[in-house]
Structures are given as C-alpha cells and as structure tokens.
Structure 1
Amino acid sequence: MKAFVLRSYGSPDALDFTDIDKPVPGDGEVLVRVRATSVQPYDWHMMRGEPYIARLMPGGPGLRRPKITILGADVAGEVEAVGKDVTEFRPGDEVFAMPKQGGFAEYACVQEGELAPKPEKLSFEQAAAVPMAAMTALVGLRDEGRLQPGQKVLINGASGGVGTFAVQIARAMGAEVTGVCGAGNVDLVRSIGAHEVIDYTKEDFTQNGRRYDLLLDNAGSRPPSACRRVLARKGTYVIVGGPGGRWLKPVGHMISALAVSPFVSQRTGRADVIRCTENKRNLMALTELIEDGKITPVVARSYPFEDIPAAIEHQEKGHTPGKVVITL
C-alpha cells in the first residue's frame, strides 16, 4: 500500500511517499480502508519533533527519531478486515476514529474500542474533520470546563479546527458563546452560532472588562495572567494550545498556567484527548450532535492524498478556518 513514512524529523519534505506492506489486524483490531484523513497541529509537531522539550516528556515524539512513522490522527473509511476478537464491526462498515497515527496511508489498523460508526449525515471527507478537533472541544467544554446551560463562555481561536467545533458544542450545551477570531473569519464564527464575535485585530478581549464563566483558549495569544482577568471569580480557564516554537512553545504556556493554578480562585485545566480513554464514547456523543443537526464540520480546504506535504505546509502557516482534509 501507499503511505507517507516519517523516518527522521524535519519539514513536510521529510515525508517519504512510498510502498509498504499492508498492515494485518491483530486481536481486537480493525483494518480500515482509509477514505479521508485530516491534518492538524498535532501532525506537524510530531513531524518536526517540536517543541524540543516534548521529546523528553512521557508520550512525546521520541528523543532522536520519531516514534510514530506514519502520521495522521484522524481516519474515516470502510472496514476491510477484522481481528478474531472483534464483534462490533464487519467488512464494509463505514467508520471513523482517532487512532493517533496511521491516517497518512491507504490502510490503518485501529483498536475496536477506538472506532465508531461514521455519522450517516457526513461524507468521509467531513467525518475525517471530526475526531481530534471535535473531541478536544468536547473534552475542554464538558469535562475540563464543566460547562452548564446559561453560562458565558469565551472561545479564543474560534475559527480554527477546535474553535469551530467548540462554538457549536457550547451553543448546543445551552451556553452564551463569545468567539475571538481575526477580521476575515468574523462572519464564519457568527454563522456557526456565536452570540457575539470579537475581532482581535480591533479589540483586546482581556481589556474590555467583560467576565465569563469559562475561557477555552485555543490560540494562546495572551498570557495566562491576562486571560484570568476575563474570568468570574470561580471561573475556569481551559488550555488547548498556542503558538508553536522550537524549544518550549506551546508547552511552556501550558506549564506556566497550570503552575499558578493552586494559588488563584479560578480553576485551570487542559483539554488532552491524546491520553483520553473515552474516545469511543466521545465519538458517539459527537455523532448524536451531528445527526441532530447541532454541529457541522467546517472544511476549509481539501487536498488529494499525494499532496499531504502541501496540506501540512498550508496548515502549518496558521489562520486556516476550520479543518484541512485529505481524500484518498
């Protein structure tokens, strides 16, 4: 089968488009014929091995060479074959998942417990936009943020992959949603359900005197101390990400926010789906919202499979509204 293989850290040019053996599903695994995948910051962080501090952390990309050789953390496709212990799926089923690796190939093996039926309303392309970004938004709002109906939530970075899902999920949960984005995406963020939109090129959301019950910070564009100023006394600050860097960013931003958390009245949390053990349950919860028409993936751009390096390069530049997807 064809796959993009990462043999050493580097730019998108480091991805080797080559033929490798088709994987064989083990016990409890499902072999998926990949019809679509997506690219996101997780992929290029793993591709470059940045920030360098992450290489020293448990679950990091690997110290000298990549632990993950086939990137692609979102998969949508059809079941090709199943391992002997698989009971829920059979060949031909349409599925989607967040296996954390393997999506940049024609076939991927996925644990049965990480797989869910593809929402009927979505194409493969749309479904591939969902898993990592939408689950990050869901975990950040529902689990870390403990969002309740009627609360006020501010979503910094509301036009990106996580942000576009977060606006819709928060609205579906009955919150009053304010989104922060650039001038070119104001109409988009308003169209997907934000009650109010702040253009960060015209207004600093940390200086306007408004208060929120929850801040979901996808952008990391303001210091944690400034972000806490917009929170109610018992509000919650949930960190998703921030600008990348070679050495510390965005890890340093997260560490600094979490370090002072015990000394302030507001809660601080981190939306981390990489270590989450409830991904199938979360996918099913998202499917229910999708089938009810409460959330719809925002797909900004689609690339053919052989152009994955160009797709990563485009996504790495930032400011892409919604998701960048790949079709096979």
Structure 2
Amino acid sequence: MQLAALRGAEVWASCSRRNAPLVERLGAVRTFDHRESPLSELPSGRFDAIIDIAGGIPLRELQRLVVHGGSIVLVTGDGGHVLGPVPRMLRAAALSLGARRIRPLAATPRPEVLAKLLELVAEGRVVPVVEREYPFAEASAALAHLEAGHTVGKVVVHGS
C-alpha cells in the first residue's frame, strides 16, 4: 500500500474498522470493511488493479470491480487444509482467459529491489509495521499468535 501511494496511486483498502486509522496513515485514501459493506455497492470497473492479500472475496466479484484490461493479483490462495491454495489458483487461471487477468504473486529474490526498499525505509518514506517481537526461543508462541489471526503488521522473531 505504501509503495502504491508513493507512486501516486489512489489506494482503497478493505480492512476492519479497528485497522482503518493505520491503513489510512499508510496511504489509503478510502477504507471500507467488505464484511460490513458489500462490495456490490462499489461501482463495476472502478479499479485498474486489485491486490488480494487476504483471500475470501469471490474471484468473480474481484473481476467485476477491475477495469477491462486490468489485473487482479492474488497474494494468498485462501485454501483448505488438504489442497491449500491450489483450488483457488486453478479457478483464477480458468477465469483469467478473459480481459481481466487474475495472477498469483510469485515472490522472487531481487537484491536491487531490496536495496531500494531499504533506502525508502532509511528515508522514512516507507514505514514497516511491526506488531510484536519474539525471541527465537518463543518462536512457537509467535506462530500461535499468527495462527490466531487478526495480526496487524508483521511479527518478528529474532535471535537475541
């Protein structure tokens, strides 16, 4: 979100009411909770791109919201216990045959991108959001905290 806002994008974000002030500080010009306000209330073809980091929203609904020729990027597959994200990713591939592409995000290590991100952090233009830190000896507690859901920002496990 911060990177998109830095590049001049008008960022809208779906988040809980509790997280709205943080999300707005990070660059969103509008926040809404899709669990309280149906996405059907948003106009069709409103967005050039949608980045889905949480899953749970039907793919067809995401496609309705994006402009013709726009893209939807899935960061999570929002899957089940057995097949994980595979069914959602396969459905996304089938739905992508039209003009509104849905594609999974595949992270690849790129040192030049990391260097630029670190530069933006050092300049204060990108601010990491760290909710909690755990010593390495408490890594299992950190994982339990993540599994409980509703984490705002990142959880850091460190060796000291």
The whole-number CA distance in structure 2 between the counterparts of 1:256 and 1:271 is 15
Give the equivalent residue in structure 2 for 1:293: 124
| Alpha-carbon distance between aligned partners in 1 of 2:146 and 2:55, rounded to the nearest angstrom | 17
* Counterpart code for 2:150: H
Asked whether the equivalents of residues 217 and 239 of structure 1 are also in contact (C-alpha less than 8 Å), the reply is yes
1:252 aligns with 2:87: yes
Root-mean-square deviation over aligned CA pairs: 1.6
Higher relative contact order (CA 8 A, sep 6+): 1
Q: In the alignment, which residue of structure 1 is the partner of 2:104?
A: 270
Q: Which of 133, 136, 140 lines up with 1:302 in the alignment?
A: 133
CA distance in 2, matches of 1:309, 1:188: 27
More helix per residue: 1 or 2? Answer: 2
Shift of 1:286: 0.9
Q: Are the equivalent residues in 2 in contact too, given 1:237–1:269 (CA < 8 A)?
A: yes
The answer on whether the counterparts of 2:13 and 2:23 sit within 8 Å (CA) in structure 1 is yes
Asked if the contact 1:220–1:253 (Cα under 8 Å) also holds between the matched residues in 2, the reply is no
Aligned to 2:61: 226
- SS of the equivalent of 1:229 reads helix
Q: Deviations over 1:268-321 (max 9, x none)?
A: 222111xx2x42122112112212322111001111221100100110122211
Which residue is 2:11 aligned to? 177
Q: Which residue of 2 aligns with 1:318?
A: 149
Q: Cα distance 1:206–1:285, how it changes in 2: closer, same or farther (>3 A)? A: farther
Q: C-alpha displacement at 1:249, in angstroms?
A: 3.1
> Which letter maps to 1:283?
L
In 2 relative to 1, CA 267–243 (structure 1 residues): closer, same or farther, beyond 3 Å? Answer: closer
Distance (Å, rounded) in 1 between the aligned partners of 2:77 and 2:145? 17
**Structure 1 gap ranges (5+):** 1-166
Aligned to 2:73: 238
SS of the counterpart of 2:143? helix
Q: Could you tell me which amino acid in structure 2 is paired with residue 218 of structure 1?
A: I
- Aligned partner of 1:282 in structure 2 is 113
Match of 1:86 in 2: none
Q: TM-score, normalised by structure 1?
A: 0.46
* Residue type of the alignment partner of 1:325: V
Change (3 A) 1:293 1:206: farther
Q: Runs of at least 4 residues of structure 1 off by over 3 A?
A: none
Instruction: Name the counterpart of 2:22.
Output: 188
Structure 2, unmatched stretches of 5+, are none
How far is 1:242 from its partner? 4.0
Larger Rg: 1
Offset at 1:244?
4.2
